[in-house]
Amino acid sequence: MARIFITGSSDNIGLGMRSAQALIKRGHDVYLHSRNSQRAQDARTACPGAKDVFVADLASMKEIKALAKQLNQTGPWDAIVHNAAHPGPMFGVANPKNEEGISILFIINTLAPYILTSLINPPPKRYVFVSSGMHKGGDPSLRNIQECSYSDSKLHNVLLSFWFARHLANKGVLSNAMSPGWVATKIGGSSAPDNIDAAIDTYVLLAEGSGVAEGETGKYWYQTQARSSSGSGHETSYLKALDDEALQDQLIQTLEKISGVKPPE
């Protein structure tokens, strides 16, 4: 039995909630997350098997740090899944700035997982960074990062996962990225063609560290399979680019400067 925390897991048709329900059925202690108390109550109703729901608005630097403190007090954890995401203007959703003048898409999708992963101590055994196939359209130059698009932020998620895989390996921490695929959620739409059950199975596989994911780190997963940077083909070439340690380091340095939060050594 594992203790698992999933960000952005209060929507009853979202992948965070559905994956939480699947993990609970498998006997795990799962903790949900919502951005406000009303959504937390809705999450408790939709998922009565959850151990608790942590409330934090990930568009606020202050609340992200408070959530990290709460997670440290409640831990240790077996797995933390960075699932929360803001869809941004590409999906017809406004992307205003928060009170600190930071783009809400950027802080939720990129900065929040960086801050949480840097502040949680001891770290969990496993981190899962939920990316998207749209990360292939992301800008690897990292220019104007605070004005990033959804695709840019999903690229950041993969880079973060790979950086933490390298830098937390000495603590026995596994860190992987995954794409759920284009599945039927609020973002994906009802006609999305990919298999949502395979997406949920991938969440479960990585959160548990079971099956083919046992002992694996620094990889990108899609429909329960790792897309390794070894081998050949367009997908492999792209993943090799994501393996660029200098690019990963550049992202971490940029996020440290913006947030004032140091990464783990």
The CA radius of gyration of the chain, in Å to the nearest whole number, is: 17
pLDDT of 138 reads: 84
Locus of tokens 């039995």: 1
Residue 165 one-letter amino acid: A
Mean of all residue pLDDT scores within the chain:
89
CA atoms within 13 A on the CB side of 129: 33
The C-alpha atoms of residue 258 and residue 21 are separated, in whole angstroms, by 35
Contact 143, 165 (CB under 8 A): no
Nearest Cα neighbor of 127 from 160, 154, 155 is: 160
State the virtual CA torsion across 153, 156, 157, 163 in degrees, nearest 10: -170
The secondary element (H helix, E strand) that includes residue 242 is helix 234-242
- Sequence length of the chain is 265
Q: How many helices and strands, by DSSP H and E, does the chain display?
A: 9, 8
- Phi and psi of 259, rounded to 5°? -90, -25
Q: Which residues pair with 129 in a beta bridge?
A: 82, 177
The C-alpha atoms of residue 78 and residue 28 are separated, in whole angstroms, by 10
- Name 89's Cβ contacts closer than 8 Å, sequence gap at least 6: 95
Locus of tokens 């990290």: 68
Over residues 151-190, the pLDDT tens digits come to 999 999 999 999 999 999 999 999 999 998 664 455 555 5
- Catalogue all structural domains in the chain, each as residue range(s) with its CATH number: 3-259 (3.40.50.720)
Instruction: Give catalytic residue positions.
Output: 150, 154
pLDDT of 184 reads: 46
Longest Cα separation, the chain: 49
**CB-CB neighbours of 208 under 10 Å:** 18
**SS3 state of residue 250:** helix
Q: How far apart are the first and last CA of the chain?
A: 29
Over residues 11-51, the pLDDT tens digits come to 877 899 999 999 999 999 999 999 999 999 999 999 999 99
Over residues 234-243, the pLDDT tens digits come to 566 556 667 8
pLDDT of 134 reads: 72
Contact 127, 164 (CB under 8 A): yes
Confidence of residue 230 (pLDDT cuts 50, 70, 90): very low
pLDDT of 113 reads: 98
261: left (phi over 0), alpha (psi -120 to 50) or beta: beta
**SS3 state of residue 68:** helix
pLDDT of 231 reads: 47
The C-alpha atoms of residue 12 and residue 10 are separated, in whole angstroms, by 6
Segment 91-115 mean pLDDT: 89
Locus of tokens 């205003």: 96
240 or 52, greater pLDDT: 52
Contact 6, 83 (CB under 8 A): yes
